[in-house]
Structure 1
Amino acid sequence: MDTTAALAALSALAQPHRLAIYRWLLERGPEGAFAGEIADQLGLPATTQSFHLKALQQAGLIRPEPQGRHIRYRAEVDTVRGLVAYLTDTCCGGDPARCLPPAPGPSKQACC
């Protein structure tokens, strides 16, 4: 992942409705969901939802799959994996041996 793609993904997820849509689609797994199911689950009006789905799609975070007159949306897990890798690839100067696993409890990680 490059900086432009990372910024697009972060920007798309930096909005409460889009983050909720993405997280819910992740929960659904490979099955994904139709737009109507997403709207029912998250209580979004169709026009608002379309705007958010388009932003997530443009950032490569979801993939639409037309099925007849409906569109099924699936989360693109590899995009988020790439984003996490991009954000952490220089952790501890790029030396993974220096990055210790997190200690038990919240926010007690020795490095990155």
Structure 2
Amino acid sequence: MNIGSALPALAALSHPTRLEAFRLLVRHEPEGLSTGKLVDASGLTQSTFSTHLAVLAKAGLVQSEKRGRLQIQRADIDTLRELMLFLAKDCCQGRPELCEPLLADLACC
């Protein structure tokens, strides 16, 4: 990942509704959630939520797939992994010891 792809992902996640929707999708991996269930969880109208979902999809954080009559939304875990690695590598500036506490926190969960 580079800064050109990291910025849209970070911008998409900077909105509370989008961040909560993405976190919900991550918790429901790998099966995903229907768009209807996401809309219900958000408390927004379908059209308002669709705008937020489009931002997440454009940033590469969410993928949509058709299952029968349902549109299923899934978090793109590969993009999440790339974003996290991009941030950690940049943060640590080539000094892995700076990221050791972060890695220890992740390992405990």
Residues in 1 aligned to 2:41 and 2:51: alpha-carbon distance in whole angstroms = 17
> What does the per-residue CA deviation read over 1:9-39, in whole Å, with 9 as the maximum and x for residues that have no partner?
0000010110011001111111101111111
How far 1:100 sits from its partner (Å)?
5.8
Change (3 A) 1:49 1:101: same
Report what 1:89 is aligned to. Answer: 89
TM-score, with structure 2 as normaliser: 0.84
Q: Hey, which bits of structure 1, 4+ residues long, moved more than 4 A?
A: none
Residues in 2 aligned to 1:58 and 1:100: alpha-carbon distance in whole angstroms = 30
TM-score, with structure 1 as normaliser: 0.82
Mark the structure with the bigger radius of gyration. Answer: 1
Residues in 1 aligned to 2:39 and 2:49: alpha-carbon distance in whole angstroms = 7
How do residues 92-107 of structure 1 correspond to structure 2 at under 5 angstroms? Answer: 92-96=92-96, 98-99=97-98, 101-102=100-101
> What does the per-residue CA deviation read over 1:53-86, in whole Å, with 9 as the maximum and x for residues that have no partner?
1100000001000224431000011111111111
Determine which structure has greater relative contact order: mean sequence separation of CA pairs < 8 Å that are 6+ residues apart, divided by chain length: 2
How far 1:91 sits from its partner (Å)?
3.9
* Structure 2 residue identity aligned to 1:70: L
Count of residue correspondences: 102
Aligned-residue sequence identity (percent) comes to 41
Change (3 A) 1:55 1:100: closer
Q: Within the alignment, does 1:80 sit opposite 2:80 as a pair?
A: yes
CA-atom RMSD, angstroms? 1.7
Report what 1:53 is aligned to. Answer: 53
Residues in 2 aligned to 1:92 and 1:18: alpha-carbon distance in whole angstroms = 27
Change (3 A) 1:65 1:90: same
Change (3 A) 1:56 1:100: closer
